[in-house]
Structure 1
Amino acid sequence: MAYLSPASKKAIANLRAYTSPTTNWYKCPLTRRAAVLILLFADRGGDLRVVLTIRSAGLKSYAGQAALPGGKADHLNENPFTVARREAFEEIGLPMSDHRLPPGYTVEHLTELPANLAMTELGVRPCVAFLQAPAPSPRNRDPNTARDILPKLDAREVAAVFTAPFFNFLREKDLDPADREEVPGEWYKGSWHSWHESAWRMHQFFVPVSPATVFRADYEKVKKMSEPVPEASADITSSKPAAVKSKGASAKSSSSLQPPLPRSFYSIGGDALAQPRYRVFGMTARILVDCARVAYGEEPEYEHNSHFGDEDMIERLLTIGRLAPIKKEGEVLTRDVMMKAANAKM
């Protein structure tokens, strides 16, 4: 077994012991079910890192954005972890079973977090797993999880895979002094925005990358793909979920709400892979923050929405018949819909 620092051991134990509240994911019709995989592994210092992707430039929506591996359910008998593992296999080549991993590697399903509501009205269930590396052996004297597992990408969906320091998602600045001094830009930016009269904290993390933490698909192949691919997972982790006003939001935060974000905020200018830092924001950022809160038993240094996921709002939308199997043309979560759901009798 590869070395884990004491903090990493405790984080894995906390996640393993976490029991999510009853989920409304199974109440959603098949077309509204989605899951993402939060895949953790230990670096050479024993600290945990998380696996993320950069979406291909050939995709119809959210091209170039950072996302967790994930997508929609295919069958009603699939549970969230099965969906997340299947999508991780299709996007980054993570085998579905341990016996197909390199010798000594295993994947442990640690827990699942409350479902999030995507702006596209999908119920997104985050599934947390730990990728355990083997101890050094004569056959493999230098196990390197990222090198051994990650560089198998579907270039049609994923332009690159990169890894980020997991604990850093609770901090406002880079934990590594070298990153603070040598990599242009800052680690965190956040602001409160009004979304249907609710206070929503938009997190933006800017992950410093290097050749050791980024694995690219066949980039020439990616650039040649002019035809958009069918996307079961096109609009999951990058979209903004519904928010309820955070009990943790201070009066100062509430009084400084900014207007809803323009569409240009979600676009990536230039070559997404050429940046010294990769931007992680929206639902992906929120999920990582909540997962780190559970793992390390700490609250972030910055302001945030205090609740986990959107189980209550998903249930309320189901109550008013909103999450139908087929989405109507032009159907969006308007203020009136959200107000009706908020006032629905449970």
Structure 2
Amino acid sequence: MTAPLTLNSFLTRFQLQSPPPSPELAPARRQAAVLVPIVAREEPGLLLTRRAPWLRKHAGQVAFPGGMRDASDPSLTFTALREAREEIALQTQNVRLIGTLPTVGSSSGFQVTPVVGIIPPDLPLQPSADEVDAIFEMPLQEALRLSRYTPLDIHREGVAHQVWLSWYQDYFVWGMTAGIIRQLSLQVMPELLTD
């Protein structure tokens, strides 16, 4: 049986392991960033949102807070923090940034940079009525268990893509969000969290 994942062991492993290089992506016309919030409990959590069902794009999907980089954003880290403030009222001063994961390409043509940060537990977060249907926390150790993700090959415009699927309680986690979580697991502790 695997020992419980503590915040200290997560931080040590995250900082000791260099992320793999970002895959070769097309030149970025559109950039975006998401915040990957790790909740600082003795056994840490991973904070996620479910997008509002009436949104034009990605309605009802589980996601990290994030979005497109504005022309006035000085960095992608700033983008991730701004979007988290707008979407779930997470104040920038409550986020301790610890690094980034490799950039990933989205189905809508964005290059997305995941920014990893530690947040205090039990913050008074508030979902944006315009964008977010729910905010929920998943135990980090459970989120990082590689065997919980099932691959699915899909074909879009004649090109095959592999996406990852998983359930947590009533939440269906898939696509880019599941891929980012898997990448975090592969970086931090692949040998401990495989079944």
Flag whether TM exceeds 0.5 (same fold).
Answer: yes
* Deviation of the 1:17 alpha carbon: 3.9
Q: What is the CA–CA distance in structure 2 between the aligned matches of 1:297 and 1:128, rounded to whole Å?
A: 18
* Deviation of the 1:24 alpha carbon: 7.6
What does residue 191 of structure 1 align with? Answer: 152
Structure 2: segments with no counterpart, 5+ residues: none
Query: Partner letter of residue 71 of structure 1?
Result: G
**Contact kept in structure 2, 1:190 and 1:203, CA below 8 Å:** yes
What does residue 71 of structure 1 align with? Answer: 67
Q: What is the CA–CA distance in structure 1 between the aligned matches of 2:49 and 2:131, rounded to whole Å?
A: 9
* Deviation of the 1:172 alpha carbon: 3.1
**Pairwise CA RMSD of aligned residues?**
2.7
Query: Partner letter of residue 28 of structure 1?
Result: A
1:172 correspondence with 2:133 = no
- Identity within the alignment, %: 26
1:117 correspondence with 2:95 = no
What does residue 184 of structure 1 align with? Answer: none
Map 1:292-307 → 2, pairs under 5 A = 292-298=185-191, 301=194
Q: Which has the larger radius of gyration?
A: 1
User: Quick check: which one's strand share is greater?
Assistant: 2
What does residue 159 of structure 1 align with? Answer: 133
Structure 1: segments with no counterpart, 5+ residues: 99-106, 134-144, 174-187, 209-276, 303-346
CA pair 197-90 structure 1, distance change in 2 beyond 3 A:
closer
The partner residue of 2:82 within 83, 86, 98 is: 86
What TM-score do the two structures reach when normalised by structure 2?
0.83
What TM-score do the two structures reach when normalised by structure 1?
0.49
Q: What is the CA–CA distance in structure 1 between the aligned matches of 2:183 and 2:141, rounded to whole Å?
A: 11
What does residue 176 of structure 2 align with? Answer: 283
What does residue 202 of structure 1 align with? Answer: 163
What does residue 35 of structure 1 align with? Answer: 33
Query: Partner letter of residue 42 of structure 1?
Result: A
CA pair 191-12 structure 1, distance change in 2 beyond 3 A:
same
Q: What is the CA–CA distance in structure 2 between the aligned matches of 1:23 and 1:93, rounded to whole Å?
A: 32
CA pair 110-53 structure 1, distance change in 2 beyond 3 A:
same
Q: What is the CA–CA distance in structure 1 between the aligned matches of 2:194 and 2:71, rounded to whole Å?
A: 40
* Deviation of the 1:58 alpha carbon: 2.3
